[in-house]
Structure 1
Amino acid sequence: MAPTGTASQLNQAALERRVALQGKAGPMALVRNANVFGIACFACLGGLLYGYNQGVFSGVLVMDSFSDHMGDYVQNQTKKGWLTAILELGAWLGRLYSGFLAEIISRKYAILVNTIIFIVGVVIQCTAVTSAGQNSILAGRFITGMGVGSLPMIIPMYNAECAPPEVRGALVGLQQLAITTGIMLSFWIDYGTQFIGGTGAGQKDAAWLVPLCLQLVPAVLLGAGISFMPFSPRWPEYHGRPAEPRKTLASLRGLSQDDELIELEYMEIKAQALFEKRSIAEHFPQLADGSSWSIVKLQFVAIGSLFTTKPMLRRVALATITMFFQQGTGINAVL
């Protein structure tokens, strides 16, 4: 017997059924999804790192002990500009590779890799008390920038893929709250540590080393804890591991794998994955083997597709112009 409803009617019925099962959005939705909320909060330690790193150096730059130690790198305005801006240069590079990394090794392990990169950069900065410190702190800030530039892209992606629809917006926005919290903490810590040894010539190197070293605390916590966090449900389905998404969804939602809500959510993920795989096989058969190199090439194809039609170009222009003017206000220079 042929179906009596159209595809759109069937989709609408499925959507209404899902809404009835998952409950309404709002603050209570976070309580109902406490497990996902906790995982998102922990992942947002990466946002805390980004905010802290953005803010901490402004206080360090004006400390007398740091100026005495770095000499020309603080007193020469050109070198001081490089010392400040090289973090953003590293972050620019981190943003460029983050999408490729998250797609090839998973969102989970991409967070781990970038946390390790961040830790390496911080260690280099904190060992800048040696005679080579003037050069090593530049390298340290660049490497740290790579880590903190990549994390703010990967973590919202991870949170969005783990979250049920009713709390997805809140958990993605949690990243920005973590960033601003990190900025606030860095300012207060800088204010406190500047009194170590006094604020004049007697100021100790600890005044600037302590706030830089404190970055390691959330970074080590994130690096150690991410190993125990689940993969996002979508990534295994896209990479030929179909047994994992349903199990992960059930764990995240606190339901059995046979629950109707888990089945609906899993089928949505599966349908989207099948659609994308068939589209790739049809339009780019030479890239459908799933190898890492093919994934890299497909990422470039996806980027290129943003500029092929007027509707997509309008979306790209809107996002780009908005972010350009947001950053053009000079807020990062103030921070």
Structure 2
Amino acid sequence: MAGGTSIWVSSEAKTDPKAIFNLRLLYLLVAVSWAGSFYGFDTGNIGGILTLPSFQNAFGMSGVTQSELDNRKGTIASMLAAGGSAGSLLAAPTSDYFGRKWSVFAWGLVFLVGALMQMIANYEVLLAGRFIAGMGVGASSMLTPQFLAENSPKSVRGSMTATYNLMIVTSLMLAFWVNYGVSKWSFPGVEHDNSQWRSAMGIQLIPGALLCLMIPFVPETPRWLINHGKSEKGLENICRLRKLPADHIYVQTEYREIEAQVIHEQECFAGHSYWVVMKDIFTSRSNFQRFFLSVMLFLFHKFTGTDSLNYYAPEIFALIGVKGSSSSLLTTGIYGVVKTVTTIFYVGYLVDRVGRRIPLLIGATLQATAMLYLALYLRFAGTNTETVGGTPAGGIVGIIWIYIYAFGWSFGHSVACYVVAAEIFPTRIRSFCMAICFFINWIVDYGITRATPNMITEMGWGVFLLYAMLTYLGVIFIFFCLPEMKGRSIESMDNLFERPLWTMWRHAYPTEEEKTRSDVREEIMAGKLNDQDDDGKRNRVEHVESV
């Protein structure tokens, strides 16, 4: 457990009770994080599968014009993102009304149905399956970081939430290598053998099944329970997850922060309807600034061009001079390894020691510079490099820059927007705000994925220049507007975002006092935490349940 959640490097974790880092928390982490493999396997699979002759023959893509081929590739690849945009919106009401736990389970089943449909060699069924699986992926992309953040001790919240992204890139890497492996199959009639592309496509069924089998045994998040008037059950689940008694100072501090935020929210706007939630977002300066920041982070996350690389990496490597489909897939496989190794370093070391802000600034700058090199190289060397004897020198440098891009992505935009969105919102508005953020994420993903084959054909080097300029712009926004979340409790964000968003760079790093919600901190300092009498406790619980 320690190696997976940065306990060995996080100063905050070293002062926490050792009991909170237990096997129950590890089981929850593993069970929920399987959802990351939904996205990773599908994203990594489809780009390579689209290049397989057996797949093209099975779905009527052989012998068509380049324009028709681009359209079909774009439609197939982007259908998952279209489903993702729908799933991310639908996940909010299921999460709020049925709970985080059973929502994750239900959407895992939806993903499994869609994944099974993709194994059928019929173009229309394939598109429907990718849309349905996409709904499961989109819903899980919102629910999983939320579930992990709400259950995590604050000292390792970044690492636990980022494990979802680690599963994405690990599965992405495995999918790249599976594609490379099946591309090397050589026997008579392989180009008409559906087992080739089905072997690559079917691997995504494994994490879907594991998630659905494991989720029923994890506890519901205490924050959802307390927010829905089930304070006693919420306190019980905190004790179960932390393996500490109810009167322990750690448990009482966490419980009281959650409870204080719930009471404050209900005093401002009573109820849980989405009309109330929207009023809570757009009439509260603190809430609106958090919402705006998260939306912008997701936009800049997409504007780095990562979807173009993830879905069409083999073709982009071929664009800079990598010869042969197997060579392109091999180079793509190494790209996946770079992403995975760097993400392991981020999850195990950076996110809860260095934080979210500095790695994102450095990583985004590396990504922008990599895209700028690709744009300049393709502008002056051309997109149809026909040299004899292998990849030209400029193309080799381009490969290195793509690997640098993967390095920067893995501790920057790959993770930061997920972690930040999962940890900055109050409980009542968290599902709604995250649903909107992920809807934007997936709808932009759909547009980019659908358009990339046509954009590369029509715009060439201009695509990469556009990504570079947008990513540099994002670096400026992040510097001024993104504070550091490391070490802060989720509930303490209320105080932080009362300040103007553009001044966050001046208050980026919290003092010890700012890591805990101010009203609860004052109560602790006044000596009331352990002296609270039974009547006071009962009155607070009754107040939460009554609203």
TM-score, structure 2 as length reference: 0.50
1:20-45 deviation per Cα after TM superposition (whole angstroms, max 9, x unaligned): xx983369999961332331132111
Listed one character per residue, the Cα deviations across residues 286-313 of structure 1 (whole Å, up to 9, x for unaligned) are xx2x5xxx2x434444554589998567
**Measured at CA, do residues 299 and 113 of structure 1 come closer, stay the same or move farther in structure 2, by a change above 3 Å?**
farther
Q: Give runs of aligned pairs for residues 174-185 of structure 1, distance below 5 A.
A: 174-185=163-174
Aligned to 1:103: 96
Q: 1:223 to 1:188 in 2, by over 3 A?
A: same
Structure 1, gaps ≥5 residues long: 1-21, 282-287
Could you tell me which amino acid in structure 2 is paired with residue 25 of structure 1? A
Deviations 1:65-96 (A, max 9, x none): 11111014894321222111111111122222
Q: How many residues are treated as equivalent by the alignment?
A: 299
Structure 2 CA distance for aligned equivalents of residues 29 and 66 of structure 1: 54
1:213 equivalent in structure 2: 202
What residue in structure 2 maps to residue 57 of structure 1?
A: 46
C-alpha distance after superposition, 1:177-217 (max 9, x if no partner): 11100100111112223345549655521111122222111
Contact map agreement 1:54 1:183 (CA 8 A) in 2 = yes
C-alpha separation in 1, matches of 2:152 and 2:63: 45
Change in 2 beyond 3 A, CA 1:205/1:314: closer
Compute the displacement of 1:257 (Å).
Answer: 2.5
Matched, 1:267 2:269: no
Query: Among the aligned pairs, what percent are the same residue?
Result: 27
- 2:12 is the counterpart of 1:24: yes
RMSD: 3.0
Correspondence for 1:80: 73
Deviation at 1:223, TM superposition (A): 0.8
Distance between the aligned counterparts of 2:58 and 2:283, measured in 1?
A: 50
Q: What SS does the corresponding residue of 1:326 show, helix, strand or coil?
A: coil
Q: How does 1:1-335 map to 2 (within 5 A)?
A: 24-25=12-13, 33-35=21-23, 36-72=25-61, 75=64, 76-77=68-69, 78-126=71-119, 128-129=120-121, 133-196=122-185, 198=187, 201-202=190-191, 204-281=193-270, 288=271, 290=272, 294=273, 296-302=274-280, 304-305=282-283, 311=289, 315=293, 318-327=296-305, 330-335=308-313
Q: What amino acid sits opposite 1:174 in the alignment? A: T
CA distance in 2, matches of 1:72, 1:51: 25
**Structure 1 residues 213 and 245 mapped into 2: Cα distance closer, same or farther (>3 Å)?**
same
Describe the shift of the 1:277–1:91 C-alpha distance in structure 2 as closer, same or farther (beyond 3 A): same
Q: Distance in 1 between matches of 2:241 and 2:39?
A: 26
| 2: CA distance, partners of 1:95 / 1:178 | 19
Once residues 309 and 210 of structure 1 are traced to their aligned partners in structure 2, the CA distance between those partners, rounded to angstroms, is 46
CA distance in 2, matches of 1:319, 1:165: 22
- CA separation of 1:153/1:314 partners in 2, compared to 1, >3 Å: closer, same or farther? closer
1:9 is aligned to: none
Counterpart Cα distance in 2 of 1:32 and 1:309: 30
Take 2:17 and 2:197, find their aligned partners in 1: how far apart are those partners?
Answer: 42
Q: Look up the equivalent residue of 1:188 and give its one-letter code.
A: W
Secondary structure of 1:273's aligned partner: helix
- Tell me by how many angstroms 1:315 deviates: 2.7
Conserved in 1, the CA contact under 8 Å of 2:226 and 2:259? yes
2:58/2:192 contact within 8 Å kept = no
Structure 1 residues 57, 241: CA separation in 2 closer, same or farther (over 3 Å shift)? same
**Letter of the structure 1 residue corresponding to residue 261 of structure 2:** Q
Q: Which moved more, 1:91-100 or 1:325-334?
A: 325-334
Distance in 1 between residues matched to 2:167 and 2:288, nearest whole Å: 35
**CA, structure 1 residues 327+25, in 2 after alignment: closer, same or farther (shift >3 Å)?**
farther
CA contact (8 A) 1:64 1:200 kept: no
Residue in structure 2 matched with residue 284 of structure 1 by the alignment = none
Task: Give the match for residue 13 of structure 1.
Answer: none
Partner letter of residue 93 of structure 2? F
Change beyond 3 A, Cα 1:229–1:314: closer
- 1:98 partner SS: helix
- The answer (yes or no) to whether the contact 1:195–1:203 under 8 Å persists in 2 is no
Q: Is the 8 A contact 1:90 1:146 kept in 2?
A: yes
Closer, same or farther in 2 for the Cα pair 1:242/1:139, shift >3 Å? same
Counterpart of 1:157, as a letter, is Q
Deviates more, 1:270-279 or 1:136-145: 270-279
TM superposition score normalised by structure 1? 0.79
- 1:299 and 1:191, CA in 2 relative to 1: closer, same or farther beyond 3 A? farther
CA distance in 2 between counterparts of 1:199 and 1:31 reads: 59
Q: 1:299 to 1:135 in 2, by over 3 A?
A: farther
Alignment partner, residue 18 of structure 1: none
- The answer to whether the 8 A contact 2:282-2:288 is kept is no
CA distance in 1, matches of 2:63, 2:219: 44
Runs of 5+ unmatched residues, structure 2:
1-9, 314-547
CA distance in 2, matches of 1:172, 1:199: 47
Greater shift in the superposed pair: 194-203 or 229-238: 194-203
